[in-house]
Structure 1
């Protein structure tokens, strides 16, 4: 039998030290983003992301723990090991892929502008010059607006969470908001608070800033967790769990 070299021994030791038993998975969530994640009066969390996380954990026979965090602190929180994954409608972009890894796709996340009903505003810089547009910090909506609108004289106003954006829109302190189209539709426009507002213009598309769909954000070194989550996602698609959960929140195909 050949002797193991020192390098092999060290490698095996390091692999053993890095391996983790994922019996508990902690997901960072921004609870201001209905219908994906929000908080009920009793403090419990609900939403499509929450249901997906529970389904993944069930497949992996792991305990799910949801840790609330503002969206702009999600990636720093993940890197600081405050939680193990970001489950908060995070779009996959090239910039984010430079610092974290992602699971397989969860669902699509188009971005769209919202303004008062009857408004003539359109999501074009020439139409928005001098206007105040609210966005949630660290979102693809903020990245898009600051890249293409702000240099053309549009005032882009970042907020710590989506609830603050919507509160200022309703109060008249903003001319419009730019946000996830599904969240805007289901979590705002179809509620009593959003009755006086409507979409202004079509979905915006820009792979560079908006990305292509959402996924669970993970640390690059946690390749074993990524593999396990992807396996679980495949199973919940195959057995119909994904469609059943999606039907609770959406009357359309949110995946394709």
Structure 2
């Protein structure tokens, strides 16, 4: 190869390398930063908590939380994408950035506030004790006399029973989901099951009211669900709060509530 041609080739290759790598060429177009309006918020949920989140026969996500978040996204002009995720990994995925929001019947507690932020409350809930139809239940203290009490691991029912029996109690039988815990009750493997009242009521309604008794326990008090975001992410929390206010004011919240909780 002649020296003249070789030098021309080197110069051309150098130019291509600089251009491809986005070097110091001021004319190179860099990818624009994603704006807030274009961002898609990844929303984690565990679709084993009907009527708040579950899957239809065709595999689509459905439920109060799903409809509520979609309505909020529409009212707040932001985009969401749902990701079905095991319950016991939701908060870790939120904190490491794999999720932006958790919408999965998450009870706001002081302990959880230490590691994450919450939106304003969007649903009031109380714990209930589910027992077989043949068993009488009168007070929370009766849990101490039972051999095994079923809960869904890490959910509010689990935390509530821990306060009665102790966090390390061998009487607490933990399951991956509410349906599995209730199935154990139906099979006689436990004497009672504790979870959120709306979830228990939904299951009993769909699977035979004649099998169980739903026991209201005033000592449990009232809890509140909120949408969880990463600790310190006040921007996303405020965005959710503003959207929630809009759908409450428009009446959309009430329509979604009636769809899932009207008698």
Instruction: Give the TM interval when normalised to the shorter protein.
Output: 0.7 to 0.9
> In the alignment, what sits opposite 2:245?
234
Please state if 1:120 is matched with 2:120: no
Residue matched to 1:111:
127
CA RMSD, 1 decimal: 2.3
SS at match of 1:28: strand
Which one of the candidate residues 172, 179, 183 is aligned to 1:156? 172
Secondary structure, counterpart of 1:229 in structure 2? helix
**Segments of 4+ moved more than 3 angstroms:** 19-22, 125-128, 150-154
Is this contact kept in 2: 1:128–1:154, CA < 8 A? no
Structure number with bigger Rg = 2
Q: Which runs of 5+ in 2 are unaligned?
A: 1-32
Residues 203-218 of structure 1 aligned to structure 2 (within 5 Å): 203-205=218-220, 212-218=223-229
Alignment partner of 1:188 is 2:199: no
Query: Which residue does the alignment assign to 1:166?
Result: 182
The normalised TM-score by structure 2 is 0.80
Match of 1:199 in 2: 214
Aligned residue in 2 for 1:31: 47
Secondary structure at the aligned position of 2:121 is classed as strand
Confirm or deny that 1:250 pairs with 2:248: no
Q: TM-score, normalised by structure 1?
A: 0.82
Instruction: Show structure 1 runs of 5+ residues with no match.
Output: 1-16
What does residue range 12-91 of structure 1 map to in structure 2 within 5 Å? 20=36, 23-91=39-107
CA contact (8 A) 1:181 1:203 kept: no
Contact residue 111 and residue 204 of structure 1 kept, 8 A: no
Give the corresponding residue for 2:156. Answer: 140
Structure number with higher helix proportion:
2
How many residue pairs align between the two structures? 231
